[in-house]
Amino acid sequence: MSISQPIPTHDHTQIELGFLRKYIFSEDHKMIGIQFLFSGMIFLFLGGALALLVRLQIGWPYGNLPMVGNWFPASWGGKMSPEFYTMIFSMHATIMIFFVIIPWLTGAFGNFLIPLQIGARDMAFPKLNMLSYWVMWPSFILMLISFFVAGGAAGSGWTAYPTLSSAAMPDGMTGSPASPNSGTGQVLWLISLLFAGVSSMMGSVNYITTIINMRCPGMTLMRMPMTIWAMFVTAILQAMALPVLTVAIILQLLDKTIGTTFFLPPAGMAFGNWHTGPGGGQPLLWQHLFWFYSHPAVYIMILPAMGMVSDIISTFARKPLFGYRPMVYAIAGIAGLGFIVWGHHMFQSGMDPRLGTGFMIATIMIALPSAVKTFNWLGTIWQGNIQYTSAMLNALAFVSMFVIGGLSGIFMAATPVDVYIHDTYFIVAHIHYVLFMSTIFGIYAGVYYWYPKMFGRMMSETLGKIHFALTFLSANATFYPMHIIGVGGHPRRYFDITIYDTFQHLQPLNAFMTVAAIILGFVQFIFVANFFWSLFFGKKANRNPWHSNSLEWAAPSPPPHGNFEGNVPSVYRGPYEYGHPETQEDYLPQFEPNGPKDTPGGSH
Amino acid sequence: MTEHAERLENHSEMGIPLTSGKLCMWLFLVTEVMFFTALIGTYLILRSSIPTHPIISWPSPERVHLSELIGAINTFVLIASSLTVVLAHHKAYHGDPTSATRYIGVTLVLGLAFLGIKTYEYKTKFDHDILPGRIGELLPGMGIQRERQMHAIGMQYVTRVRLQMEAALTREQKQFGYVHPKVKEAIEMLLVDMKDGEAGDKYRPPLSPAQVGERVNDILHIAHMEHHEIRLSPAIPYGNMWASCYFAMTGFHALHVFGGLVVFAILLLKGLRGQLAQQDVGQIEIIGLYWHFVDIVWIFLFPLLYLV
Amino acid sequence: MRAEKHETESCEHVPNLFRLYMFVAVALIICTALSFVFNYYASEDVHTVAKTTAFLLILGVASLKALLVGYIFMHLKWDWGKLYFLIIPVAILGMMMIIVLLPDALLGVLYDAKDQLIIAEQFAKEMKK
């Protein structure tokens, strides 16, 4: 009853499963992680293609789109329609956030790394784990179907604010308050996110239980790698924030289907002879409930990357992580503060101004733990024996891009400044610096770093470095100018800004960004080529190719079912004993019984 | 210290002394707490955003035909079922699977009773047409501004009520051979007044949606006095919002009750077959935790919806 | 070792547990009756207690009931030491969410209903003139 580690009743390595059980309906955390990785990759390209369409429209408004234009209905004349534009930027955000970043970070890396790094044979509930992946599929399918229903997919932004999203007009009415796509497309969007939420919730409950109860002997909380700490805190964030989004989604779904009016204004909305319904609700309430989840979700989308980058930087700087405990407390601090800052998305929505002040102070306070993390990464690199592998380069890019994204965040946190830059491209620049450039670089770093463990082969370093350099340059060329046009007043989500004389001078910069974005998009194929080429022809990896310390490197590459041969390893020290003065090698694995004993938190 | 001893010593530090299943259930309950907090929070906020005004105010339980007594009975039923679950665990732990099975059976019956009473309550809501989007929002005395603002929805209400009254007259005639004279008289008078006409030598305008609402409420009152149930949408300001909240909150609670009952049914089957073993004690405790949580949710829903 | 530790801390070694459960159930029923009493004194016919006071009192009684169920039935009396790290944050978070949202609810009153009432009053005055 109280034994947390299941004792293997049979030798795990001996089990041979059929193809279906091994690769499709697998209960093995590693396979589920890889499944999440692949489905995330598919949607990365779908979301990226949508982003390029958005950029094409902004770069050359009403331009005849090459190739893509042929796919549009003949009545559009090869040009994009405004409704189509709102649809693609909404779906770009939805897909990137819910189907790429979150599944990659918590689904792929969380699943793959948690049992390996804490020395467990599998998750606490393997069946629940399998379910959490397969519940994603209804979500994927519904979202894809929504592109083909009448009116198209949801087009009211990924935030789906009522009344834009919920007050659907009957057919034939003009002057609608709602986005034209807010009919069936929006309903499917809501149901799809409901499934995604259930999947995330099952995952997070499983991760927390696993991390609390399944650690191998000796793996105390303060000996866990930062990745695990980050996953743990992320799972807690998800468990506590997601239900609120679930409620919001359900209420909006009821509004749209059975005629409740939770998010319609008190007297309803009348348009000629047509009326949205009796009203009595609050449009602002949706924003509160939505951001109560979606702000913590922003941290869900970066904390795991922070954890992984901490491990990678420490490994390749061949130095202990600077300030392990402060790093842990900083993650917890970011998570805690993350729950009380959602209002900074709503400074301009007519929220009570007194709340705005509180939210502003709390938001600016998040800079403190974030700065602790950044300076600790710098402290880790300082005087280190840095190895510039692809993983390390991507991790360093994460840190630098996080600094830029974080600093631009402080502008928005201050209410007076936010009044000016709210809903401009400054916000777009900020979100892409944090979510695209930080998190995706973090994910790439993770893929390069753990690829040998996942597939037993090394990725090509040359291709990796080319991919990194081109991505870094083109991403900065794409997103940095957004700060400039944002401060210039360029509003976000506008179909065509050239009709305003004020913004005419920003147009050349827009065209430049579009070119950079196209390059950025195509550069990613180098990564895919590298990924699949290495899958078959990469150099065979040994157990510990990076001479790293944490527990996953004690397992074979790739680890068999059950992860560790024989007994699960025991842990004798923290995971960051690099360059220890008393050892011959410059690393000292956690699972190595001989050698200097623990220095708490890995600091010297 | 030998390695073995060290392993053992290390082992005792890992994890917390709870089974993974119990921990998982507690984590699930954490998510459920947030779920119901958001639902109840939504209700509290919507409710408190409505002023206290003689006419424009949050509907009282009487106005929406919500019986405190039924709510109280359901509270007792759920408390009793919570008690029987905990006793089932107690008995199962002390190696008495027969009593445990009996207590699980009682719990299942009590849960079904809860759902039965809930169904009855829902049925009365449907009979009185207290459903989201169907209730009239306007009553006289609200001010011309509000009547103007909600005119479109008011006209929809007038159309619906007219159809309902006409249908009621023919249906009652068919079903019972007669319509209660008082009700019939009131309905016919209202149907006449809803059209414009002449009063003496003056033009008489049709009733406004607010006036129709008041008259419909009068008819319902007469019908109620004569014990003659008639299906007409009443006019209750913010009644639609109330119905939305009521159905969302109690509906999700009832779904949770149903989910618990499924597990109890499985455990009961196991028990009746005599398969309730020692390892099921943990399961009973885990489902018990869930059941108590469902009870706690009702403990909050009951006063929020039925009292005050 | 762990097993023994668990056993000694387990709820099932408390004497008279059965009676404790019964006692709690009775207390819960008394509390329910108590909330009815508050409700009666706040009702429109009697109205010896203000509505808001009665609302807070009844919510207080409900919280007491929830605590009883959690403490005894859900075995938190014995498991609190292992679970406080989950329960305290979620309790704080839930309360905070509702409290933070309340000012906006009052804004709703301010912006919608109140100024409609003011407009209605002004309209009535104009009609009198």
Write the pLDDT tens digit of every residue in A523-565. 999 999 999 999 999 999 999 999 999 999 999 989 998 888 8
Domain residues for the domain of A194 are 29-265+286-554
Please state, for a pLDDT cut of 90, what percent of chain A lies above it. 62
A114 touching chain B per CB within 8 A:
no
Q: Quick check: is A438 in a domain? A: yes
- Looking at the structure, tell me whether residues C5 and C53 fall in a common domain: yes
Q: Of the candidates A93, A206, A45, A111, which has an alpha carbon nearest to the alpha carbon of residue A446?
A: A111
Which residues of C are less than 8 Å from A267 in CB distance?
112, 116
In a domain? residue A88: yes
Looking at the structure, do residues C123 and C67 belong to the same domain, yes or no?
no
Could you say which of A3, A240, A355 has the minimum Cβ distance to residue C100? Answer: A355
pLDDT single digits (tens) A142-158: 999 999 887 788 888 89
Q: Do A570 and B149 touch (CB under 8 A)?
A: no
Structure-block tokens of residue B35: 């779920």
Q: Does one domain contain both C53 and C87?
A: no
Any domain includes A219: yes
Q: Is the pLDDT of residue B199 over 50?
A: yes
Same domain (yes/no): C41, C93: no
Q: Phi and psi for A282 in degrees, rounded to 5? A: -135, 115
Please give the C-alpha separations between residue A384 and each of A162, A320, A381, A543, B101, in angstroms, as whole numbers.
52, 9, 5, 24, 65
**Domain ends where: C74, C90, C116?**
C74
Do both C8 and C69 map to the same domain? yes
Distance between CA atoms of A579 and A577, rounded to whole angstroms? Answer: 7
As a whole number, mean pLDDT of residues B85-108 equals 91
The pLDDT-based confidence of C27 (bands split at 50, 70, 90) is very high
From C124's Cα to the closest Cα of chain B, the distance in A is 8
Q: Whole-angstrom Cα distance, residue B95 to residue B106?
A: 19
**To the nearest whole number, what is the mean pLDDT of chain B?**
87
3-state secondary structure (DSSP) of residue A411: helix
Is A277 contained in some domain?
A: no
Sign of CA pseudo-dihedral B150, B153, B155, B161 = negative
The pLDDT score that the predictor gives to residue A293 is 94
Prediction pTM value: 0.91
User: Are the C-beta atoms of B156 and B213 separated by less than 8 Å?
Assistant: no
A593 within a domain of the structure (yes/no): no
Q: For residue A214, tell me if it sits in a domain.
A: yes
Cα distances (Å, whole numbers) of residue A378 to A322, A383, A572:
8, 10, 27
Interface confidence, given as ipTM, is 0.92
Question: If 0-12 CB within 10 Å is exposed, 13-18 middle and 19+ buried, where does residue A190 land?
Answer: buried
Pair (C6, C63) in one structural domain: yes
**Cβ distance of A355 and C96 shorter than 8 Å:** no
Q: What is the pLDDT of residue C18?
A: 86
Task: Please check the confidence at residue A13 and state whether its pLDDT lies above 50.
Answer: no
Structural domain that includes position C14: 1-74
Residue A11 CA to residue B98 CA, distance in Å, equals 39
Report the pLDDT value the prediction gives residue C6, as an integer from 0 to 100. 43
Render pLDDT for B271-287 as a digit per residue (tens, 0 to 9).
898 888 777 888 999 99
CATH number of the domain where residue A161 is located: 1.20.210.10
Closest approach of chain C CAs to the CA of B176, in angstroms?
38
The alpha-carbon gap from A352 to the nearest alpha carbon of chain C, in Å, equals 6
The verdict on residue A180 lying in a domain is yes
Q: Is residue A73 exposed (0-12), middle (13-18) or buried (19+ Cβ within 10 Å)? A: exposed
Give yes or no: residues C84 and C128 share one domain: yes
Q: A284 — contact with chain C (CB < 8 Å)?
A: yes
Chain B contacts of A571, Cβ < 8 Å?
A: 10
Mean pLDDT to the nearest integer, B124-143: 87
Per-residue pLDDT for A345 more than 60?
Answer: yes
Beta strands in A153-218 (DSSP E): none
pLDDT greater than 90 at residue A69: no
Whether residues C115 and C83 fall in one domain: yes
* Chains adjacent to A (≥3 CB pairs closer than 8 angstroms): B, C
Inspect the interface and report whether the beta carbons of C117 and B40 lie closer than 8 Å. Answer: no
Q: How far is B36 from chain A (nearest CA, A)?
A: 8
Domain match, C66 and C101 both? no
Q: Are residues C59 and C84 in the same domain?
A: no
Q: Please count the structural domains in chain C.
A: 2
So what's the pLDDT on residue A593? 85
Average pLDDT value for chain A: 88
pLDDT given at position C3? 38
- For B55-96, the pLDDT digits (tens) are 788 888 888 888 889 999 999 999 999 999 999 998 888 888
Beta bridge mates, B198: B203
Same domain? For C8 and C68 the reply is yes
d(CA A81, CA A79): 7
DSSP helix/strand/coil, B198: strand
Tell whether C27 and C55 lie within a shared domain. yes
Residue A571 lies in a domain: no
* DSSP reduced 3-state for A578: strand
pLDDT in tens, B228-274: 778 889 999 889 999 999 999 999 999 999 999 999 999 999 889 88
Overall number of domains in chain A: 1
User: What is the arithmetic mean of pLDDT over A93-115?
Assistant: 95
